[in-house]
Amino acid sequence: MPRWPNQLYIDGAWVDGAARRTWTVLNPATGSVLESVALADAVDVDRAVQAARRAFDEGPWPRLDALARGRMIFQLAERIRAKLDDLAMTDTLNVGKPIRDTVGFDVPCAADLFESYAGLPDKIAGKCYGTLPDNVTMQFREPMGVIAAIVPWNFPLTNAAIKLAPILACGNTVVLKPSEVSPLSALMLAELAHEVGFPPGVLNVVHGTGAEAGTALVRHPGVDKITFTGRHQTGVQMLEAAKIGMKGVMLELGGKTPSLVFPDAPLDMVVNGVITGIFYNLGQVCVAGSRLLVHESQHDELMERIVAKVKTLRQGDPTDPKTQLGCLATPQHLATVNSFVERAKHEGARCVLTGSLSKDANNCFYPPTIFDRVTAPMTIAREEVFGPVLSVLTYRDEAEAVRLANDCEFGLMANLWTSDGTRALRVTRQLRAGRIAINGGGALRPNVPVFGYKMSGIGAELGYDEAVHEYTSSKAVIYSLATEKSPWPE
């Protein structure tokens, strides 16, 4: 069993919360207690922001040689790799993710993110506009300031790395608030950064509820920018809070990813891709492929093959390396997912695959569920379930497929499957989504940006040029070369 820090990490030190309150962190697969962690309130948030402010205004981090800053970030990546087993088991126990996934993706991806962005600091460049004979105008890119980073519970360590790697590479200081559900790996990450020798105040981790600590953080006048990943309803609140101090905002919000399968698609690839897209991490993924759009001519065959393969998936103890499906993160979220399922039945969708819910209130296992005969107006086709629930819709032609795919308030990602390269690019240009995967696409890459259309967000997550744009400030310097000036109004 890993050892977990249970205090707040502020200004380079482990401290208790001002009110001495704690939060009990549970294992959703068993209901057992993992740890009692200090709970931050507005006083603690203020301490963390002030520490980050001092570290930015007075400390060495923003002024550190770019290569030296990069080396420290790289060392953090190496520490993550050295702690792979403990970090993987932590997220498995904390949110019910199968150990095969945390070992195979979550922790390696977090290390890759820090390693990738370790090479960015000395590549941040400005511009020079030297077209006029009597002056030179330069544009500098400088660290932005104190960033408030708020992450959800579905990929605790990976989400933290997605935020921290570019923020730190650009020379900023940060206050990270993990979800109150899943703080353990974020606190371990702070411990690793401390071991590497990050200056005090550069990275602060405060664990608290969104209503209390989160609100205090985003409203704090010492914060220069808010970066948030989570529900779009909370994103709206972030925009409102950003008015205080005219903060910058970067939001990566919900999704309702459509998967368009065209008649010429390779069905073996489609079956695996569709199942992975919706049932990986039990659908608790912002880009989960929750809407399957199938041509009516291939509907029956594809459904038969998908249902048959899903029935072979193994769900159970997340710590068992053979387990493919773990559990949902909290009992509250299980109730939310189940309410979507019951509403879908009430609205007339046909449930072709599900299972019995456990009678043990201490665990959060939910069976993979598939609905057929779903229509665009149904709730299950429009709202983000964030669970292992697939909605299947049929279409008659390409135009209808595109219309159905775009008939949604979200636009984070879309998948399409076809052997026709011209069709793939033609349809891609019509889809209103910030990320398109053709025939599977591939896993998350640190250097590839994530954009959100419509209700799916503002700004870009990841990407080197995009990170520099999001986390640095631009300054124009107009340098006169003229030796004589005629002051106005002469």
DSSP state letters, 334-354:
HHHHHHHHHHHHHTT-EEEE-
Q: Is 324 exposed, middle or buried (0-12, 13-18, 19+ CB in 10 A)?
A: middle
pLDDT at 361: 66
Which tokens in the block code for residue 321?
A: 């390396």
Residue 109 annotated as catalytic: no
Specify the residue for token string 């940006």. Answer: 449
pLDDT at 355: 85
Q: What percent of the chain lies above the pLDDT cut of 90?
A: 88
d(CA 455, CA 477): 37
Which tokens in the block code for residue 34?
A: 């993992």
Report how far Cα 235 is from the mean position of its chain's Cα atoms: 13
- What strands, in cross-sheet order, belong to the sheet with 127-129? 127-129, 135-143, 472-480
Calculate the dihedral angle through the C-alpha atoms of 179, 41, 168, 164, rounding to the nearest 10 degrees: 0
Instruction: Tell me 314's DSSP state.
Output: -
Residue 367 and residue 315 in contact, taking contact as beta carbons nearer than 8 Å: yes
The domains found in the chain, sorted by start residue, are: 8-253+456-476 (3.40.605.10), 258-438 (3.40.309.10)
pLDDT at 244: 86
d(CA 474, CA 105): 35
Report how far Cα 152 is from the mean position of its chain's Cα atoms: 7
Question: Residue 305 is which amino acid?
Answer: R
d(CA 338, CA 346): 12
Nearest to 95, CA basis, from 278, 293, 329, 269: 329
DSSP 248-262: EEEEE-----EEEE-
pLDDT at 274: 97
pLDDT in tens, 197-219: 999 999 999 999 999 999 999 99
CB neighbourhood size of 234 (10 A) = 18
Residues whose CB falls within 8 Å of the CB of residue 68, separated by 6 or more in sequence, listed in order: none
pLDDT at 243: 87
Residue 286 annotated as catalytic: yes
Name residues of the chain where pLDDT drops below 50: none
Which listed residue (35, 191, 252, 466) is catalytic?
A: 252
pLDDT at 362: 74
Which listed residue (286, 327, 364, 408) is catalytic?
A: 286
